[in-house]
Amino acid sequence: MTGNKSRGHNFISQVLQILLILCCLLQCHSRPRSYDSKPLSEISKEVLYGKAQNRSYERLAEFTDTIGNRVSGSKNLDLAIKYMYNALRQDGLENVHLEPVKIPHWVRGEESAVMLLPRNHTLAILGLGSSVGTPPVGIEAEVIVVDSFEELKKRASEAKGKIVVYNQPFVRASEAAKVGAVASLIRSVTPFSINSPHTGWQWYQPGVVQIPTACITVEDAQMMARMARRGQRIVVRLTMAAKTLPDVDSFNTVAEITGSEHPEQVGDFKYVLLVHYTCTVQYA
């Protein structure tokens, strides 16, 4: 992510100004005050129709094309941190530095899922971050499809020894483990899908057996829900080599933009804080 130093600095400054104005507008309910909406309108026009148009997308595309997926603890994450550190310096931000931290080191490994009954069908899956793996031979089990935790609790007696498929976006594996399930598959967290799984990070509940968990596509989740409503028996073989290794060293990437008129404050705020997650558990 290179480019003109002043333009990059101006763009980031514009983003900060937008956030500041929005924060001020939100405060109107607690402290009556008038605000000039003209700066916000001018910034919006610059970003949407002016010289800054598509700049964020182009930079994001270059970043993801160059680095790819950036799972916590991976070499790609190290490359991404170096990339962002250099980009912030090139854009002229102040006090750009790295803060040492320890982070989880999770490895996805090879993974696959195949529906064996009522017909043979390969499922597109992505393991959820921090998931445990299956035995090397995988897990082959009948599927129970539920639309909510409430339904899972009502059908708890049916779930033992089965793979729970949640036709509901992003829920924890521990809920399925509590009722004796051997694995869980979760409908991807997205309103739109082109048979593409979309995953995330999950945590296991202490004291509950850890079972493998992965995301499946919206299409496959809905298909299995239809099959289940018809009373068809569904069997899936799930194989995941996921594992968690000891924590590794990494960095927070920090940068500042000093105010031009009152560097010690920003309006009524001492600081405006922007947080960006450089790591990802997506497969890209």
The pLDDT assigned to 79 comes to 95
Helical (H) or strand (E) element with 169: strand 163-169
Gyration radius from the chain CA atoms:
24
Full set of structural domains in the chain with CATH: 5-104 (no CATH), 109-241 (3.50.30.30)
Average pLDDT, whole number, for the chain?
83
Map tokens 């639309």 to a residue. 147
pLDDT tens digits for range 47-73: 788 887 888 889 889 999 999 888 899
pLDDT of 3 higher than 50: no
Better-predicted residue by pLDDT, 230 or 172:
230
Contact 183, 203 (CB under 8 A): no
Q: What is the mean pLDDT of residues 218-242?
A: 97
Buried b (16+ CB within 10 A) or exposed e, 32-47: eeeeeeeebeebeeeb
Largest CA distance in the chain: 69
DSSP letter for each residue of 129-167: BTPPPPPTT-EEEEEEEESSHHHHHHTHHHHTTSEEEEE
pLDDT of 282 higher than 60: no
Q: What is the mean pLDDT of residues 239-262?
A: 89
pLDDT tens digits for range 60-109: 899 999 998 888 999 999 999 999 999 999 989 889 999 999 999 999 99
The CA distance from 245 to 250, in Å, is: 14
- The answer to whether the peptide bond before residue 263 is cis (omega within 30 degrees of 0) is no
**Cα of 55 vs its chain's centroid, Å:** 22
Contact 135, 241 (CB under 8 A): no
pTM metric for this prediction: 0.74
Q: Which of 151-160, 186-195, 251-260 has the highest mean pLDDT?
A: 151-160
E strands, 20-110, are: 94-107
pLDDT tens digits for range 14-45: 454 555 555 554 544 445 455 567 777 887 88
Q: pLDDT band at residue 284, thresholds of 50, 70 and 90?
A: very low
